[in-house]
Amino acid sequence: MGALALAAYAVNGRSSSLLAPSVYRGPRGVPRYALTFDDGPSESTPRLLDLLESHNVRATFFLLGANVRRLPGIARAIVARGHEVGNHGFLHPYYCLQTPRAVYADIVAAQQVLEDALGFSPWLYRPPFGLRWPGMRAAQQDCGLLGVQWTVMPKDWKWSPQQIAQHLTERIRGGDIVCLHDGRELAVNPDVRATITAVRAFLLHSATRWLRAQTVSELVGILPDVLEGDASASIRAAY
């Protein structure tokens, strides 16, 4: 039972770095948080960018390689408008159904597409479904990636805008990393209106609570050149 519990924690524990280095929050006790979006870019992403700009908010977008290949212009627009981008894999598979070699290949393929489209190498990575698996550590090391999990994630792919916004406003704390979605895995032209509506309500609420949105890198206090080693150990030690 102990071995099974350890294995489950290694794969799915948000604070685990047993299979690959990662962080899941910033320092507590600060009036800051990071807003992140997975599964983009999509045809809906520009509307979200307009909303974030209207609130002077910068976010971190974890992009799927296949979607970047389909919509490279939108991926570049995310960066051009001041946001941070990270690797979210290429095809959004369940890594637990893949071999370590396939996991490695999915991450590296996405990194290459991002480099080709954007002209630089992202340094953050979020695994599909947040699940870690063998092969991930080697890919992160070779690509210079730090894994990023989350502290708060409403089910914005199925909940109403009211439910999403309520979940966020009731649970958000300083140092949190919020996970939302501007895409729906590999879907073309996905409907993310609920997410956008909820984000608008949440940003209005968080502003009244003196919480300031930052990118993940800003929140955890890390720069790309820090990732030469196992950065997560030194970052977590500060928390």
Q: Quick one: residue 82, left, alpha or beta (phi over 0 = left, psi -120 to 50 = alpha)?
A: left
Q: pLDDT grade, residue 8 (50/70/90)?
A: very low
2 part of a folded domain? no
* Whether 38 is catalytic: yes
In the chain, DSSP assigns E strands to 22-23, 32-40, 60-63, 84-87, 124-125, 146-148, 177-181, 212-214
pLDDT attached to residue 2: 55
Q: pLDDT grade, residue 9 (50/70/90)?
A: very low
DSSP string, 15-34: T--SSS-EE-B--TTSSEEE
Token digits for 122?
Answer: 């992202």
* Whether 181 is catalytic: yes
pLDDT attached to residue 140: 95
Token digits for 27?
Answer: 């320092």
From 38, 39, 176, 182, active-site residue: 38
Given a cut of 50, whether residue 125 has pLDDT beyond it is yes
59 part of a folded domain? yes
Q: What is the mean pLDDT of the chain?
A: 88
57 part of a folded domain? yes
pLDDT attached to residue 119: 97
From 55, 181, 191, 225, active-site residue: 181
Q: What is the CATH number of the domain that holds 163?
A: 3.20.20.370
168 part of a folded domain? yes
pLDDT attached to residue 215: 97
Note the pLDDT tens digit of each residue in 50-77: 999 999 999 999 999 999 999 999 999 9
Domain that holds residue 169: 31-220
Upstream peptide bond of 41 is cis (omega within 30 degrees of 0): yes
10 part of a folded domain? no
Model pTM score: 0.89
Percentage of the chain exceeding pLDDT 70: 84
Q: pLDDT grade, residue 145 (50/70/90)?
A: very high
16 part of a folded domain? no
Cα-based torsion angle of the residue sequence 223, 180, 164, 23 in order, rounded to the nearest 10 degrees: -40
172 part of a folded domain? yes
pLDDT attached to residue 223: 65
Q: pLDDT grade, residue 209 (50/70/90)?
A: confident
Closest CA to 124 of 168, 72, 177, 71: 177
3-state DSSP assignment of residue 121: coil
Given a cut of 50, whether residue 25 has pLDDT beyond it is yes
What's the mean pLDDT in 132-153? 94
d(CA 66, CA 43): 14
Number of other CB atoms surrounding residue 73 within 10 Å:
10
188 part of a folded domain? yes
How many domains does the chain fold into?
1
Exposure letters 170-188 (e unless 16+ CB within 10 A, then b): eebebbbbbbbbbbbbeee
d(CA 117, CA 73): 8
Closest CA to 149 of 44, 219, 49: 219
Give the relative orientation of helices 45-54 and 193-208 as an angle to the nearest 10 degrees: 10
